[in-house]
Amino acid sequence: MTSWVGLRTTATPSQLDAVTKAIKTSPVIDNHAHPLLKPEALGKHPLLSITTEASGDAIQAVTTSLPHLRAIRQLATILGCGFTWESVVAAIEEKRINSFEDWTAQCLVGTETLLIDDGLDGDDAQDYDWHDDYTRSKCKRIVRIEKVAADIISRLGKTCDASTQTGDDVFDDAFSEWVQEFDACITGAIEDPDVVAFKSVICYRTGLDILKAPDEDAARRAFGEIIANFALLDFERLQDVSLNDLVVHRTATLIRDCNARHKKPIQFHTGLGDNDITLSKSSPSHLQEFIRAYPTVPIILLHASYPFTQEAGYLASVYENVYADIGEVFPAISQDGQERVLRQILELCPWSKILWSTDGHWFPETYLLANLQMREVFETVICEYVRKGQIGWRAAIELVRDILFKNSNRLYRLGLEFQEFEDESNIVLSPYSTDCELFESFMKNQVQPEFVRINWTDLTAQPKCRMVPFRKFMSLLNEEKPTDVGVTKAAFFLIQSDWLAPGAPIAGEYRLHPDFSSLRKGPTEGHISMTGEFRERSGAPVPLCPRSILQQAVEYGAENGLTFLLGFEIEFVLLERIEKAKVSSSNRYAPLTTDGHSWAATRYFADPKISKLLRDMVVALDEMGIYVEQIHAESANGQFELILPPYPPVQAVDILMHTRDTMNALATEAGYRMTLHPKPFPHAVGTALHTHMSIASTASSTSTPSGDNSHIYESYYAGILKHLRAIAAFTYSSPASFERLADGVWAGGRWIAWGTQNRETPLRKIEDSHWEFRAIDGMANPYFAMAAVLAAGTHGVVAKEKLSWGDCEIDPAKLTENDRKEVGVYEKLPGSVEEALGALKEDEELVGWLGAEFVDKYIGVKEFELDYLGRMHEEDRRQWLMERY
């Protein structure tokens, strides 16, 4: 069993550059903003307000604040003017006169869309859809609920004749009309596709300590007083506790009770605000009872809840329906303060619960400064975490994209496609210079090799490579030329004998691009290696590229809040090579002659030649940064198992293939043949590639208030079991695979089932999210196999599949018919490659996730391979496959 040990690695300069690039180029979904002012209204508001919530006489003191001074430096740099406030104001005025539209567009660079609260500033502000000209995607509305309620009261107050109303139940009809009209407005907004959320400013009115349930009688009396005295009042907004509480509760109730599958959120102003707020009542902790009362209504805590950021992070971490926004503190507090806010929110809060906004308002400069400072602070804080090994560089990129774009895209159901903007800074990030730095960093501790390998794995699971002399490769890097190599398109249609499957293209080539993050020493002396990904000459992805298909499956999981670790157990058999003079056409290899082989036995390690080979494997891999967790004897003669640590899926498979190549090279050097053949000996146990899987969920929509994520794991593995017959086309991809597949021999069995610590089932539950996938062997292309498994499992979570299979406690083959009904075990795995390919053809969902073009080509190659292998005598085929696997 694999030991799941956490890995800590130091990021290379190139990897840090990749994180920085993601921060600079990720589009932002600004999930809370306000409209810009019309040009003629700009003079009504002081430009000093762009970095402060102060107003009136208090605003003058902002000129001695750190946020203001920082804004001067940044704006002066962009505007090319003097580093004084007066110079900045003059330069902005010039921009307004010359081309206000161009300046606005420059200030909103990098913005995908704005979600606009337009319940402020009335006729002075632009309409929310006016902003569409300055964003890549259409802007959406946020409805301010207190404004809706106040507008209805104003209309009723002007039309209601107070002189005709008497008695204790005064204005009951008007109150009912107000409630009904308010409900109708909110219901209409729920149904309006241009409205994505609601906004409450109860924090400004009566505070966030909302009553657990509204006091409708008190609200009715307060409403009556407003209407009765309306002519004498200068009514503008709700100020009564009972009315404000009622408005918020009614909105939440209408959202909760609507028929929509996906509920629209309510945003709450929390923390930071102008002096109209009661600071002691602005902490989001006051909302805890309200949050509990509406567990299905998404709630967003705006403005980092500053200075109550940690409270916001806590609430978002423990309640499924709560999200933390980190807007407005950019640019309203100092750089140190912003960094502290980001660190505090990440202390506890999952990044899948964090949203980004500018709280931009009135002036385009508020958007410019907020986004500019956010990217600056993200680079400082997140890159620091990467350098310290607290987060991997790939995870850091995922964090950035989730906070800035993907979390809001999911929560508000915007349906937008993530597409990076070009870096607008003065820094040019060349992929070749980045690769060069990574390569130079790698080579610092290496003896200069003779060759650089660029590896891939073909459709028949054969490891392939192109080798470039080191001197040539270095010249390409130094001259900043592409390091990709051409590979004929026909390569995807070759079987192991180099025969081309029907329909193979005769002309054309793909470009094989090395991934420098996969750099490893070896697998043989004088070589260094990288795994490649195929691209068209245009740079477009290739549907048949194994590594890209696995990466797509990983991204499918990430889009649904899932991350994975994979750990492989490599079972292999060492064979004696028969002397050439004694070789017959069907007898090239023989079992080892060492006596007494058995599972976990120590005696095999007394053989000095075998012991040295196994030690050399571990030492060589250790020098390559691949740290073997265990190695021991298995049951068949000459059979051993080497266990790798867990890694993210693409890295895990890259390392698996490199490890195999290394082991094979050392075995050959020692005079042995190492084979992954699933059944090298007819009367001994077979050889597998058991895969440990650990999944984690970062998606708030999939966790429960109690923190129990078993429903996620169960849906994930239910998805795998549901599609296992089709998945077998990738995991049991050779006739030899079905020679191993049998009941009662710890091969995972023939029945589709799962069991806790049951090695006779294809899925063995170990603990919580850690399960072992046993229905795979060394003949599989692991990129394809793991892509199919991850995609099926992820869809299980998305579709909330029920784990209808019960925990099988015995060998499924020994279950009675009644037992099978009880645990839901009805189907068997395919009995042949032909049957597995047929199941794949029929599984439209799996074909859709992996790509119809890829599946069609894969089946064509496998059917051609089957025809070729079917012409061989059984023993000839066994020996022929052992030569190649």
Domain final position from 513, 542, 571: 542
Q: Is residue 860 part of a domain?
A: no
Assess whether 748 and 791 both reside in one domain. Answer: yes
Q: What is the pTM of this model?
A: 0.56
Check whether residue 723 and residue 665 sit in a common domain. Answer: yes
Count helices and strands in the chain by DSSP H and E runs: 29, 23
- Give the residue among 363, 424, 360 at the shortest CA–CA distance from 95: 363
| Contact partners, residue 698, CB within 8 Å, separation at least 6 | 350, 351, 352, 561, 562, 563
The answer to whether residue 426 is domain-embedded is no
- From the number of C-beta atoms within 10 Å of its C-beta (0-12, 13-18, 19+), residue 300 rates as buried
- In a domain, residue 851? The reply is no
Query: Hey, what are 248's tokens?
Result: 């918020």
Question: For the packed helices 852-870 and 833-842, what is the interaxial angle rounded to 10 degrees?
Answer: 160
CATH of the domain at 727: 3.30.590.10
Same-domain status, 737 and 771: yes
Domain that holds residue 467: 431-542
Q: Are residues 723 and 653 in the same domain?
A: yes
Q: Is 212 exposed, middle or buried (0-12, 13-18, 19+ CB in 10 A)?
A: exposed
Beta bridge partners of 141: 116, 195
- Are 271 and 352 part of one and the same domain? yes
pLDDT (0 to 100) of residue 712: 83
- Both 354 and 502 in a single domain? no
Q: Does the residue 859 lie in any domain?
A: no
pLDDT reported for residue 373: 92
DSSP annotation of 145 reads H
Q: Strand ranges (DSSP E) for 104-217?
A: 111-117, 140-144, 195-200
Flag residues of the chain having pLDDT under 50.
Answer: 1-9, 163-164, 166-168, 424-433, 581, 698-707
Half-sphere exposure of 634 (CA within 13 A, CB side): 25
In a domain, 861, yes or no: no
* Same structural domain, 393 and 266: yes
Shared domain check, 532 and 645:
no
Q: Say what the pLDDT of residue 426 is.
A: 36
Number of domains in the chain: 3
User: Strand, coil or helix: what is 745?
Assistant: coil
Does the residue 461 lie in any domain?
yes
CB burial string 46-74: b at 16+ within 10 A, e below: bbbbbbbbbeeeeeeebeebebbbbbbeb
The H or E element spanning position 844 is: helix 844-850
pLDDT at 258: 92
For residue 442 the two structure tokens come to 């790698």
Quick one: tokens of 844? 């439209």
CB-based contact 110:97 (threshold 8 Å): no
User: CATH code at 503?
Assistant: 3.10.20.70
273 with 393, same domain? yes
- Cβ atoms of residues 38 and 124 within 8 Å: yes
- Domain limit, last residue, from 381, 411, 441: 411
Q: DSSP assignment of 824-857, as one string?
A: T---B--SSHHHHHHHHHH-HHHHHHH-HHHHHH
Would you say residue 257 lies in a domain? yes
Query: Does a structural domain hold residue 475?
Result: yes
CATH number of the domain residue 199 falls in: 3.20.20.140
- CA torsion 484→485→486→491, rounded to 10°? -110
Q: Which residue type, as a one-letter code, is found at position 661?
A: D
Residues 6+ apart with CB under 8 A from 839: 725, 726, 728, 729, 830
Beta strands in 155-271 (DSSP E): 195-200, 266-268
Distance, in Å, from the CA atom of 477 to the CA atom of 346, rounded to the nearest integer, reads 38
> How do strand 754-756 and strand 763-767 relate by DSSP bridges?
parallel
Query: Residue 1 has what pLDDT?
Result: 30
Instruction: Establish how many alpha carbons lie within 13 A of residue 776's alpha carbon, considering only the half-sphere containing its beta carbon.
Output: 28
Buried b (16+ CB within 10 A) or exposed e, 335-367: bebbbbbbebbbeebbbbbbbbbbbbbbbbbbb
Question: CB count, 10 Å around CB of 701?
Answer: 14
Same domain flag for 122 and 165: yes
pLDDT of 595 reads 61
Nearest to 547 by CA among 532, 536, 561: 532
Beta strands in 546-586 (DSSP E): 562-577
Encoded tokens for 623: 């020098």
CA 37, 38, 42, 44 torsion-angle sign: negative
**Is the same domain home to 618 and 754?**
yes
Does 648 lie in the same domain as 796? yes
Give the distance between the most distant pair of CA atoms in the chain: 119
User: What was the pLDDT predicted at 697?
Assistant: 65
**Residues 639-676: tens digit of each pLDDT:** 888 999 888 888 899 999 999 999 999 999 988 888 88
